[in-house]
Amino acid sequence: MTPAGSPASDAAAALLDELVARGVRHVVVSPGSRSQALALAAAALERAGRIRLHVRIDERVAGFTALGIGRETREPAAVICTSGTAVANLLPAVLEAHHSGVPLLLLTADRPPELRGIGANQATTQPGIFGEFTRFAVDAPVPSGDPDQDAAVRALADRAYDAAVAPIPGPAHLNLPYREPLAGELPEWFTGPPQDLREPRAHGGEDAASHPAGSGAHALAHGPRTVVVAGADAGAAAEQLAHEGGWPLIAEIVSGSRYGRQIVHGYRTLLRDAELGGRIQRVVVFGHPTLSREVAALLSRADVEVVAVRGPGEDLDLNHETTHVDAVAVTPGDPDRAWLGAWMRASAAQVVDLDAPAPDLAGLSSTDPRARAQANRAELDAVRRPLDREQLVAAVWAATWPHDRLMFGSSRIVRVADAVLPGKRVPVHANRGLAGIDGTIATALGIALASQDGDRPGLTRVLLGDLTLLHDVGALLLPVSEQDPRIQLIVANDGGGTIFDGLEVAALASRDDMERVQYTPQAADLAALAAAYGWEHTRVTTRSALDQALIAPGKRRIIEVPLDR
């Protein structure tokens, strides 16, 4: 018997067809019963070559995978899940997408109204479950099969897509109640040959990541002593403004702005200097700064004018008097060369030398056995040099290039990287909207999948701590039917949360209490974990071994770096 159609399948087909026509290229599915019409329609789209489909059993992983795709492409990925707790598991990714301004589409299947609030299985209050953290949320009508259903569903898809991408990107939620039959034969127009399907239709919104200067741009005169601060996701605009204005550039390692002639090394120390940080009169901020208390203190000062250029995330206003603008432009005039020169001289003194000593060529070729032996010992010592956190971040930074992607976890290691790494123009990602450790691996996998789409070159590296890895260990599970992305997880394994050593609690709590409720000491076998999930594993203890592991061929690998607490 040929299976009959169903209003649920007809509505799911129209919804996904419209989203693909608007620009959706990636769909992430967490399987379930109530969402089967959406999942089967997504599978049909994959067969037609219209989308890339990613299946994840854990909705939290699915949400962050979609978030990573949105971070990389600035286009929303759609995540599909069933009803009940499945929807609640999307909340961490929704919060991060809201606070960091990442487009995301949430398609959550639900019970129809008559099955809500009566104790029905897998039924809870899903409409409005994400509260104020969505740009658009609607509890859709139950599909009825009416002739005008297709047009209404497409209009709803358009509204959700528009809300997710502009004017401030973020999550949009369609709660989709379905009655039985929950799935049927998909409509013929949807399953036709690819050439009969609708061509993609791009949205007409402005690129939310750009801040073009021009008419309406906030004018910045040269007079006040100014610094440019680049936080997470600031991008090239911060470096460009610093260059045009002749101003020092304080660029966090997660900003994507740490390059160019005006970057400030050791900025924490210099912001505490009364002759530099103490004399700042104006700060122009791009992105979301989160990595240092010194920057937070600067942006909170009442005697400093703060101009924040709006980006995709929420507005920054630490001093409650910040001026928010959509774009900035430097007015004609002479830059304050003395001000920039003072910062650049102080910056040069803060550069951290992360290179090994140069080989003693004269000693290595000497005819004096003692001199030659000493030079050889020095070379062996360099090769066997044990890894510390500074050498770890230096090796990863050196191995990463513009065609790669680098993701930082919210671990102690990102602050080390921020403190010591020099300038280099590489694509950098980090979930700094809320700076949580959840979803780091899943986000990075989304970034890898999107950046390598169409067999584009490059490798995604993730620099994270051991607890950040273990918190998202479920993301290591990838379907055997899907192509593996090229990804490395470089794990700084010091056996627990040593980031707390730098916080107030370390001075207040006893050692026993720190071990019990702060450090979360762990002794997980990462090699066994990697094997269980089908990842390659390499454990390295020297800089030379790490350098080799970072360039070794392979699809997905965990590189474990044991470190002293």
Judge if 185 and 59 occupy the same domain: yes
Which domain CATH number covers 538? 3.40.50.970
434: left (phi over 0), alpha (psi -120 to 50) or beta: alpha
Question: What predicted TM-score, i.e. pTM, was given to this entire model?
Answer: 0.92
Residues 6+ apart with CB under 8 A from 535: 476, 489, 556, 557, 558
Judge contact between 30 and 458, C-beta under 8 A.
no
Judge if 188 and 222 occupy the same domain: no
Strand order in the sheet with 249-251: 249-251, 226-230, 282-286, 305-309, 323-325
Judge contact between 280 and 343, C-beta under 8 A.
no
Judge contact between 102 and 233, C-beta under 8 A.
no
β 136-139/171-177 pair status: parallel
> How far apart, in Å, do the first and last CA atoms of the chain sit?
66
The CB density around residue 514, as the number of other CB atoms within 10 Å, is 18
Judge contact between 303 and 283, C-beta under 8 A.
no
**What pLDDT, on the 0 to 100 scale, is given for residue 194?**
52
Please check whether residue 354 lies inside any domain of the structure.
no
Please check whether residue 369 lies inside any domain of the structure.
no
Query: CA distances (Å), 270 to each of 4, 157, 350, in order?
Result: 71, 50, 9
**What pLDDT, on the 0 to 100 scale, is given for residue 519?**
78
Sign of CA dihedral 337, 340, 346, 347: negative
Judge if 536 and 411 occupy the same domain: yes
**What pLDDT, on the 0 to 100 scale, is given for residue 520?**
82
**What pLDDT, on the 0 to 100 scale, is given for residue 511?**
83
Per-residue pLDDT of the chain (565 residues; tens, 9 = 90+): 345 789 999 999 999 999 999 999 999 999 999 999 999 999 999 999 999 999 999 999 999 999 999 999 999 999 999 999 999 999 999 999 999 999 999 999 999 999 888 988 889 999 999 999 999 999 999 999 999 999 999 999 999 999 999 889 999 999 999 999 999 999 999 987 654 334 445 443 333 333 444 458 999 999 999 999 999 999 999 999 999 999 999 999 999 999 999 999 999 999 999 999 999 999 999 999 999 999 999 999 999 999 999 998 889 999 999 999 999 999 999 999 999 999 999 999 999 988 766 676 776 777 887 877 776 777 666 666 789 999 999 999 999 999 999 999 998 999 999 999 999 999 999 999 999 999 999 999 999 999 999 999 999 999 999 999 999 999 999 999 999 999 999 999 998 766 676 667 777 888 888 788 887 888 999 999 999 999 999 999 999 999 999 999 988 999 999 998 7
Residue 163, H or E segment: helix 149-165
Rounded CA-CA distance 496/523 in Å is: 9
User: Which residues lie across from 137 on neighbouring strands?
Assistant: 173
Domain boundary among 348, 374, 400: 348
β 171-177/104-110 pair status: parallel
Give per-residue burial for 360-399: e unless 16+ CB within 10 Å, then b: beebeeeeeeeebeebeebbeeeeeeebebebbbbbbbeb
Judge if 460 and 532 occupy the same domain: yes
Please check whether residue 62 lies inside any domain of the structure.
yes
Rounded CA-CA distance 100/288 in Å is: 8
Q: In this structure, which amino acid lies at residue 74?
A: R
Judge contact between 493 and 560, C-beta under 8 A.
yes
Residues 6+ apart with CB under 8 A from 163: 134, 135, 136, 170, 172
Please check whether residue 273 lies inside any domain of the structure.
yes
Judge if 25 and 130 occupy the same domain: yes
Judge if 510 and 402 occupy the same domain: yes
Judge if 321 and 456 occupy the same domain: no
Please check whether residue 360 lies inside any domain of the structure.
no
**What pLDDT, on the 0 to 100 scale, is given for residue 518?**
80
Judge if 263 and 133 occupy the same domain: no
Closest-CA residue to 255 (of 233, 237, 274): 233
Please check whether residue 409 lies inside any domain of the structure.
yes
Rounded CA-CA distance 152/159 in Å is: 11
Judge if 99 and 174 occupy the same domain: yes
Query: CA distances (Å), 560 to each of 201, 330, 504, 524, 546, in order?
Result: 44, 46, 29, 12, 9
Judge if 227 and 147 occupy the same domain: no
Domain boundary among 157, 174, 192: 192
Rounded CA-CA distance 230/227 in Å is: 10
Closest-CA residue to 60 (of 39, 38, 86, 40): 86
Judge if 38 and 111 occupy the same domain: yes
For the CA atoms of 12, 14, 17, 18, what is the dihedral angle to 10 degrees? -120
Please check whether residue 376 lies inside any domain of the structure.
no
Domain boundary among 295, 318, 348: 348
Which domain CATH number covers 333? 3.40.50.1220
Task: Find how far residue 39's CA is from the centre of its chain.
Answer: 26
Place of tokens 């940080």: 277
Q: What is the count of structural domains for the chain?
A: 3
234 is in which domain, residue-wise? 218-348
**What pLDDT, on the 0 to 100 scale, is given for residue 381?**
65
**What pLDDT, on the 0 to 100 scale, is given for residue 362?**
77
SS3 401: coil
Please check whether residue 48 lies inside any domain of the structure.
yes
DSSP state at residue 33 = S
332: left (phi over 0), alpha (psi -120 to 50) or beta: beta
Rounded CA-CA distance 191/197 in Å is: 9
Rounded CA-CA distance 396/72 in Å is: 20
Judge if 310 and 402 occupy the same domain: no
